[in-house]
Amino acid sequence: MLNAGKFNLVLFIVVLVTVGLFGSSIFTIAGQAQEKDELEIFSWWAGWEAPALNALINLYEQKYPDVKVINAAVAGGAGIHAKAVLKTRILGGYPPDTFQVHAGQELIGTWVKANRMEDLTRLYKEEDWLEEVFPQKLIDLLSTKEGIWSVPLTIHRSNIMWYIPDNLKKWGVEPPGTWDEFLNETAPKLEEQGIIPLAMGINWTAQHLWESVGLAVLGPDKWEALWSGELNWTSPEAVKVWEVFDKILEYTPENAPSLSSQDAASLVSNGKAGFYITGDWQAGYMVITQKLKPKEDFDWVPSPGTKGVFMIVCDSFGLPKGAPHRENNIKFLKLVGSKEGSDIFNPPKGSISPRLDSDLSKYGAYQRSAIKDWRENRIVGSLVHGVVGNEGFMNDFATVIETFLFNRNPDQVVRACQALAIEYGIIE
């Protein structure tokens, strides 16, 4: 007979042996799962933003049938949820194989500065990307003196105002060329007819509107001066941006904080609002998802006061240090930078290809107009989509906007922004 003490000892040994025999194989299986040929792509292109990414993934899978692609997209426009998940993963030491990151400060001032990315200069040389494939102004946004840190996939434009031409005719208004015209003529006329003059939604869409207003009020030189630290946020010009923004907010939906970007856009397509200012992913959505015809069913102009200026947003992919499937990602990055990959992704996305040799016949009417502007316009960077501010600044700026939406106090807000600009090294 076993007494209780001996029974417990036997049980303990049995458990140890079981874990030893099977547990180790469980761990081995888990280990093997990690070693399996996979590629994890992290982005925020889910839901209505998914078609272009799916097309690129299909192309990758056709070329590399042995690699299983894990599409780790976290939904939420402008990466509002994805970026928080990404941060936890990178800081926690389990980065995805590759992730969507905006060219400019979101890449350079955040992940490169934190020494989390591998230099891709060799890849650029091997693929011949340095000689007249990507414009130099774009490579500059992806580089430091030490290297080139990601591969560009899209060129989006932030400062676009969308509308339905038939509705404008019905309401007797034209797309306004300036904010004065909007505030003094267009908006009151729409409001009289029970139409919301300007659609807007949750926080990031308010920031998006703000940057178009900022560009219009400051003009491109001073917009850039704000980000190089040469123009103070407390200067009269910068205060004016918030004063104009304040007036414009009067004409946006009262329930804006409860509207996603797509809800805000739908106010325009459903004839409840006159205009919406958002990036040209909107063209992808209207053509691919809503099956609308550019120029007939929907139309666009540069946001008021920004004609001749192209506020750039560029999505890119890089190679984080410690990526588990490095080689599979390098194959992916080659596809991202290739003409074939770029011309399969960008047409349904609403963006244009960063490559100078892209096949224009694959692009729709909106994109053909964007390509022309991209070549001819003055180029400046977006804030909310990562070009001019790093992650830290952007996160805090979201809070600043939230506060402004409640207290609408320009003097207070510029002091907060000035403090942030100092904290994040924009102003020395």
Binding site for ligand GAL (CB under 6 A): 44-45, 49, 77-79, 154, 156, 279, 281, 313, 315, 385
* Contact predicate 380/221, CB 8 Å: no
Compute how many other C-beta atoms are within 10 angstroms of the C-beta atom of residue 351.
27
CB of 279 to ligand GAL, least distance (A): 6
| Residue (52 or 195) nearer to ligand GAL, CB | 52
Beta bridge partners, 199, equal 276
Residue 294 is given by DSSP the state: B
In the bound state with ligand GAL, the residue whose beta carbon lies nearer, of 67 and 161, is 161
**What is the spatial distance between Cα 320 and Cα 308, in angstroms, rounded to a whole number?**
36
277 Cβ partners below 8 Å, 6+ apart?
159, 160, 161, 162, 198, 208, 209, 212, 303
3 state DSSP class of 421: helix
Give the C-alpha separation, 229 to 223, whole Å: 10
By beta-carbon proximity to ligand GAL, the closer residue of 53 and 238 is: 53
Contacts of 325 (CB under 8 A, 6+ apart): 37, 38, 39, 40, 67, 97
**Residue nearest to ligand GAL as judged by C-beta position:** 77
The least distance separating ligand GAL from the CB of residue 43, rounded to whole angstroms, comes to 8
Closer to ligand GAL by Cβ: residue 67 or 380: 380
Residue 406 CB, nearest approach to ligand GAL (Å):
25
CB of 45 to ligand GAL, least distance (A): 6
Which CB sits closer to ligand GAL, 77 or 104? 77
For residues 424 and 296, give the distance between their C-alpha atoms in angstroms, rounded to a whole number.
45
Q: Kindly state the smallest distance separating residue 390's Cβ from ligand GAL, in Å.
A: 15
Nearest approach, Cβ of residue 154 and ligand GAL (Å): 6
Q: How far is the CB of 371 from ligand GAL (least distance, A)?
A: 17
- In the bound state with ligand GAL, the residue whose beta carbon lies nearer, of 152 and 410, is 152
Nearer to ligand GAL, 75 or 419 (CB): 75
Report, in Å, the least distance between residue 102 CB and ligand GAL: 6
Element holding 213 (H helix, E strand): helix 203-228
Cβ 317 vs Cβ 150: under 8 Å: yes
CB atoms within 10 A of CB 396: 17
Burial class (CB in 10 A: 0-12, 13-18, 19+), 24: exposed
173 versus 287: smaller Cβ distance to ligand GAL: 287
Task: Write out the H or E segment, with its range, that includes residue 43.
Answer: strand 38-43
